[in-house]
Structure 1
Amino acid sequence: MDRAQIVHDNFLRRVAEDDLPPGRAPSGPLQGPEAVRLFRAGCLSRALDRKSRAMQKAGTGFYTIGSSGHEGLAAVAHALRPTDMAFLHYRDAAFQIARADQVPGQTIAWDMALSFACSVEDPTSGGRHKVLGSRALMIPPQTSTIASHLPKAVGAAYSIGAARRARPEHAVLPEDAIVYCSFGDASANHSTAQGAFNTAQWTAFQSIPMPLLFCCEDNGIGISVKTPRGWIEATFRDRPGMKYFSADGLDLYETSRVAQEAAAYVRRRRKPAFLHIRTVRLYGHAGADVPTSYLSRAEVEAEEANDPLLHSVRLLRDAGALEPAAALDIYTNTCARVERVADAAAERPRLKTAAQVIASLIPPPRPCRPTNGPSAEAREAAFGADLKAMDSPQPMARLINWALTDLMLAHPEIALMGEDVGRKGGVYGVTQKLHGRFGASRVIDTLLDEQSILGLAIGMAHNGFIPVPEIQFLAYLHNAEDQLRGEAATLPFFSNGQFSNPMVIRIAGLGYQKGFGGHFHNDNSVAVLRDIPGVVLACPSGGADAAMMLRESVRLAREEARVVVFLEPIALYPMRDLHAAGDGGWMDRYPAPDRRIGLGEVGVHGEGRDLALVSFGNGRYLSHQAQAALAQDGVAARVVDLRWLSPLPGAGLAAALDGVERVLFVDETRRSGGVAEALMAWGAEHLDVPFARLTAEDSFIATGPAYAATMPSAEGIVAVARDLMERGR
């Protein structure tokens, strides 16, 4: 049977008969008019839940995951300010409705109905998904990936204290704001959530401000799996550095009182707190989920008998705030209004074309204050003796370090974060001296957790910073990749460009490290990064290029609000020589601070027309060695450096290959899922000359003498090039 209809009918009958569930008398600071407003929010949330299900059945709505049973969260919204950023659980419609009541000019019923209908007029996602969220209400929309929003809530909370020291140009959170983050009891067990709790506690333990209010909405079940009774309280009551609060979510008055106490604690002490709200879940998990398929009928009916709206009617009656007959009128009138509003919303236009859908993948550019770069005085104070060293060629690692220094001098909103980036200067020394130059607030040594590192970056970006997080090794990214795919990259898409989290993620990676760490420190798989829509993937091969591409990456983040992954080839960090020991052929002078390489601009080395060796990273280094060997065969080759791996620089590549008679794609990533797959497809569509590829094997990387056995070599490039020359005659 339709449990939503049963709950609705039960409410009408029981209120009319004054058959209300027993409970404690109302107590707390909640005043009558405020309590009635919260009840109205709960009624609207309930009516929208029912209508969303009806719309889905009628084919005019497309996604249902309801908030019925969680209406008490309206009281939590009442305890916060609309300027407190809120990362919401997907069952928090009542919270959003109550917050809308705090901000003049909101049309929350219409807005949410447009979301149900996936209309292009939906003010949050523009018809891309049914999401909670609102720019006006400071609620960034969330994906439904379990618990993935908790790490960025930690980052956003951290950013408030960081902004007190140096307020970014695009900061949005007041100095006394707190961050709110809600989730379900099942989600609390997710490793991502546990990492976020630990990071918040770890930070607060060191007396670093962390004004974050976690809220666990404990309805006792995750889809079909029950949470053991008492589990949430037992595991969160006594955690160090995070104060525990608990309330009965069926009681608006108690929930309001406890939520106000918790919010006041976080706002005053600037420490995290855990608010445990006990709720019920009505209907089922979502959509066509039938709770009686995994719960007994008696269990389902017991939850329905504890309908929080029925408890609210009793509490309002006992407080003298509202008679049951008046409460019933509010409920029925709200249901009728939602019917009218949602029926009209179902007629509004929807997305139809691919162009419309992808229009928000990349956020709109944002105005930025002009900057003339760092002053001579600031550079002299920061660089010291390094200024003189800039007159001579240097390896890549040092040029990246200098580029980061100049960028941080020019843009005070840049903050570096990662494991070992501070006092140690990074695992490869790339960030050496930056901690001393800019301090611990801008060069942040994090705990060892890649999800927390990226979450910190995403959250700080929400508040106007330009984070530059470092992941020590490409192989270490993979347990945190959802922070990019599920959170950072999707934010503009699901907010119709209203929210963004720009950043530049530096990752040390790729192969060819001699005898160090095998696969865990040498990883040549970038497919997971190239597969994320909207993300820019940059891969420099030389030191000067790295400095200029890093400047462009920061510009893309700062001015165009882009998410950029900056993949640095570890083996090339210290590289000095190219053809022979002592030739210094792979070192560059530091390019002037105003020089950069634009997105999509490829590098061309040589003018040979017989053959083009197209590569990137370590492949460019090897291609230069092959270029010299081929010249002895009389083959005039040019080396083309892609630089930008996603989006693929098609226009730049076509120009670089103009007039070339043969093309060899040299790819140090794997044959399956590697960059060369895209290049071969591009070649089939755009080239009218013979072309081939040389890739790494579909294998992990070994340590010891076989460190490069599975990847291209200069000799291998020469052999394939010679074969291509013969086949192309």
Structure 2
Amino acid sequence: MVSRPFAASPLPQETRFLDALARDQWPLTETDLTLEEAGLSPEALLALFESQLMSRHLDLEARRLQARGEGFYTIGSAGHEGSAAVARALRASDPAFLHYRDAAFLIERSRQLPGQRPLWDLLLSFAASAEDPISGGRHKVLGSRALNVPPQTSTIASHLPKAVGAAHGLGLAGRLGVEGTWPADGVVLCSFGDASFNHSTAQGAINAAGWAAYQGLPLPLVLLCEDNGLGISVLTPPGWIAAAMAARPGIHYLACDGLDLLDTWRAAGEAVRIARTRRRPVFLHMRCVRLFGHAGSDAQQAYLSPARIEADEARDPLLFGAGLLRRHGVLDAETLGERYRAIGDEVARLAEAAIRRPRLASAEAVMASILPPRRPGRMTPGPAEMAEAPLTLAQGLNLALARTLARHPGAVLAGEDIGRKGGVYGVTRGLQKRFGAHRVIDTLLDEQSILGLGIGLGQNGLLPIVEIQFLAYLHNAEDQLRGEAATLSFFSNGQYTNPMVVRIAGLGYQKGFGGHFHNDNAIAVLRDIPGLPVACPAGPREAVGLLQEAVRLADEEQRVVVLLEPIARYHSRDLLEEGDGRWCEEDPGPDFRLPVGELGRWGEGSELAILTYGNGVHLARQALAEIDPAGARVRIVALRWLTGIDHDAVHDAVAGCERVLIVDECRRSGSLSEALVTGLVERGVAGERLSRLTAEDSFIPLGPAATLTLPSREQVAARVRALLAP
């Protein structure tokens, strides 16, 4: 055997291949396709096999690096290398959302674009180097801007909803006359494992794809299920994937043997042809095998029998790939061995260089890509409509949305019931009739799919504004914000973005049917996502200014922004008594915006500052009407943004007051008031000057009891009187 100057001795995982190489004995594939029948040249077959070899040697090197303390992630691709044939069936311009076992796909795709160095790039990722071209050392991910592979981190189904959204966005961008990130005739590839297939997120995305295609909507999507029969230690029932998908409405099912490059190439070509020409989703079921355990730390001997492990190792796709090369006379045994060893030496040599490259060395460097890069906005100039009469909060939102659709060619609204019905509370009333069903999209009832649609549209160059019907409905889908939307810039070093605005109806005080699912004051999850601006308007003027700023943030700064809209204030017209109209406000105009961190203020009093937001502003105004109507003793400082708080500005706004009362309609634990108290104390405000009035740590009930756990007008008034008392 030729010496290996850089690599260590062969690992146990190499033994079976090296033994087969020494004997020149290889297993036969189940099909006996010829190269001509498969439509593949000898050179192409060799290239596919070499991509598989590169992927395998990377897996082996990852284990060597981890043993030395120089590598940090060893979930490898061994057994899944058949995905190389799928890559060859696609164009490099087709977006690919990849399973973490698809290194062979990325390597094979890199052949389509000159100048790529996939081995070097992936080894930099293994070593967590700051020079890793996709994540900048933040994670070991498969991705490439040049190759149209957005990075996915743990890909346990959470990337499927945005793949569906991206597929819908390919044609939608063209219909809107907007230049998308990817070509309009492209195909989206999304790969995942058989265990992830059972995740509710995957099932929701697959259902959404079928639901859309069943109605004739274009959706050029290839869902590649890489079925190795295992979910870490849990076996997938034999035949389960095929039984679940073979007759799924709206989705074309194909299957292939991922150990056989020719069969996989044949099936992948058919899948891509159907998706590209018919613009419909295809489910490509690729049977494969998992080798070396789930990850480097996984001892599969603890849950798999020796016979099962032996049988899996005998199904190594490298054995079958080498057998194809020998059977079709592409390489002789000696040259095959030379190729294997030469690639191993190259990987080892590059690894020694990669581990010496710099790594992230400061918190600032790590956080540098949380916020996406800026870009020129696409809002068209010119006059925009103005409201003649004073507005309610809902009317202000409707007006701002109409302005956005009129002035931004790529703006799209999406959500349940927002079109023909105009939203549960009428906020989007009339917009679909005016702008069309392509721009105001009625979605299915699935918050994960709604958010995924927004993420995918945003990645394809559109400006989505999606609606979650109630805050409580977000919680089953919040990972689409936390794990997908908000992390894309971070894990791609700012190279990929998914700008969008998420409108959420929420908070308490809703009268009528109410109850927990329609009165929800749990906002901690939104405040805990790095880089996510969350706005909350109290009245109509703020609603217009915050939504128009949210659109600007998404358009120009490529941010994901949440607008939390208080349901109870949607149609409020009055402040103190019926007919006073004091909660309606004039339209502030199309260019009015309220930047992140900007505070509102009412009154100039110096005895007490009420620090609040949302419904709390309404309660405070009501309470002060009889105590201090002119604001001579009390001032109200209103937060418009619940994240990105300018604590220095908050301190300055209340610093001249003897006492500070924080009125927080959200729960006492995990609430905004905790952060406000901390920020003020850190800036020298004595604790005895601070007081909190919050909601109880409770869910919200139905009926007359719905407000019992929330701050009330009477409670605010009583607390104000107590704090003003001599």
**Shorter-chain TM-score range:** over 0.9
Structure 2 equivalent of residue 266 of structure 1: 275
SS in structure 2 at match of 1:644: coil
Aligned residue in 2 for 1:457 = 454
Partner of 2:499: 502
Corresponding position: 1:34 with 2:40? no
**Aligned position for 2:527:** 530
Which residue number corresponds to residue 167 of structure 2?
A: 157
Amino acid in structure 2 at the alignment position of 1:669: C
Runs of 4+ in 1 over 6 A off after TM superposition: 632-635
In the alignment, structure 1 residue 562 sits paired with structure 2 residue 581: no
Q: What displacement does 1:633 show?
A: 12
Q: 1:15 aligns with which of 18, 21, 28?
A: 21
Partner SS, residue 519 of structure 1: coil
Q: Does structure 1 conserve the Cα–Cα contact (< 8 Å) formed by 2:155 and 2:192? A: no
Mapping for residues 370-381 of structure 1, pairs under 5 Å: 371-373=380-382, 375=383, 379=385
Aligned partner of 2:357 among 348, 352, 376? 348
Q: 1:369 to 1:395 in 2, by over 3 A?
A: closer
Contact preservation (8 Å) 2:602, 2:631: no
1:550 matched to 2:560: no
Aligned: 1:121 with 2:128: no
Alpha-carbon deviation of 1:723? 3.1
In the TM superposition, what are the counterparts of 1:415-430 in structure 2 within 5 Å? 415-430=412-427
For residues 482 and 518 of structure 1, what CA distance do their matches in structure 2 show? 24
Instruction: Give the corresponding residue for 1:300.
Output: 309
Write the distance in 1 (CA, Å) between the matches of 2:276 and 2:465. Answer: 28
Q: Determine the structure 2 residue equivalent to 1:384.
A: none
Q: 1:361 aligns with which of 370, 386, 392?
A: 370
- Structure 1 unpaired stretches of 5+: 380-386
Question: What's 2:604 paired with?
Answer: 607
Q: Please say if 1:699 is aligned against 2:706.
A: no
Moved more, 44-53 or 710-719: 710-719
Partner of 1:178: 187
Q: Deviations over 1:499-537 (max 9, x none)?
A: 010110000000001132311100001001001111110
Q: Answer whether contact 2:694 2:711 (CA < 8 A) is retained.
A: yes
Q: State the 1:287 CA deviation.
A: 1.8
Secondary structure of 2:585's aligned partner: coil
Task: Give the partner amino acid of 1:10.
Answer: R
How many angstroms apart in 2 are the aligned matches of 1:485 and 1:630? 43
- Deviation of 1:3 after TM superposition, in Å, equals 14
Query: Which residue in the other structure is 2:154 paired with?
Result: 144
Distance between the aligned counterparts of 2:178 and 2:669, measured in 1? Answer: 43
Q: Percent identity?
A: 56
1:13 CA drift (Å): 1.7
Distance in 2 (CA, whole Å) between partners of 1:453 and 1:660 is 45
| Equivalent position SS for 1:640 | strand
Aligned to 2:69: 59
CA contact (8 A) 1:16 1:325 kept: no
Cα distance per residue 1:206-254 (max 9 Å; x no partner) = 1110000000000111100011111111111111111111110111111
Q: Is the 8 Å Cα contact of residues 603 and 632 (structure 2) preserved in structure 1?
A: no
Q: Deviations over 1:316-347 (max 9, x none)?
A: 11122222321221111111111010111001
Matched, 1:664 2:670: no
Alignment TM-score, normalising by the size of structure 2: 0.96
Note the 1:674-685 alignment, pairs <5 A.
674-685=671-682
Match of 2:218 in 1: 209
Distance 1:478 1:145, change over 3 A: farther
Q: Tell me the SS of whatever aligns to 1:112.
A: helix
Deviation at 1:26, TM superposition (A): 4.0
| CA–CA separation in structure 1 for the residues paired with 2:685 and 2:459 | 47
Where structure 2 has 5 or more consecutive residues not aligned to the other structure, the ranges are 1-7
Amino acid at match of 2:478: E
Amino acid at match of 1:651: D
Letter in 2 for 1:25: D
Q: SS of the counterpart of 2:104?
A: helix
Deviation at 1:4, TM superposition (A): 8.9
Question: 2:607–2:659: 8 Å Cα contact kept in structure 1?
Answer: yes
Aligned partner of residue 54 in structure 2, secondary structure:
helix
How many Å separate the matches in 2 of 1:634 and 1:592?
Answer: 27
CA shift, 1:631, in A, is 1.5
Superposed CA deviations along residues 284-320 of structure 1, whole A, max 9, x for unmatched, are 0012101111001111011111111111111011122
SS of residue matched to 1:276: strand
Distance 1:367 1:514 in 2: 43
Partner of 1:673: 670
Structure 1 distance, partners of 2:259, 2:644, is 50
The verdict on how the C-alpha distance between 1:113 and 1:166 changes in structure 2, with shifts beyond 3 A counting, is same
User: Could you tell me whether the CA contact under 8 Å between 1:691 and 1:724 is conserved in 2?
Assistant: no
Paired amino acid for 2:607: D
Question: C-alpha root-mean-square deviation of aligned residues, in Å?
Answer: 1.6
**How big is each residue's C-alpha offset from its partner over 1:49-100, in whole Å with a ceiling of 9 and x where there is no partner?**
0111111111111111000011111000000001000000010000000011
Report how far residue 464 of structure 1 moved: 0.6
User: CA-to-partner distance for each residue in 1:118-161, whole Å, 9 max, x for gaps?
Assistant: 00000010000101111111001012151000000000000011
Change (3 A) 1:3 1:292: farther
CA shift digits 1:437-484 (9 cap, x unpaired): 100000000001000000100000010111110000000000000000
Alpha-carbon separation, structure 1, partners of 2:177 and 2:156: 32
In 2, Cα distance between the equivalents of 1:516 and 1:680? 34
Find the counterpart in structure 1 of residue 143 from structure 2.
133
Corresponding residue for residue 716 of structure 1: 715
Q: What amino acid is the match of 2:313?
A: E
Shift in Å, 1:654: 2.8
Distance (Å, rounded) in 1 between the aligned partners of 2:379 and 2:232: 51
Alignment-mate amino acid for residue 636 of structure 1: R
Describe the SS at the equivalent of 1:335: helix
For 2:698, give the aligned amino acid.
S
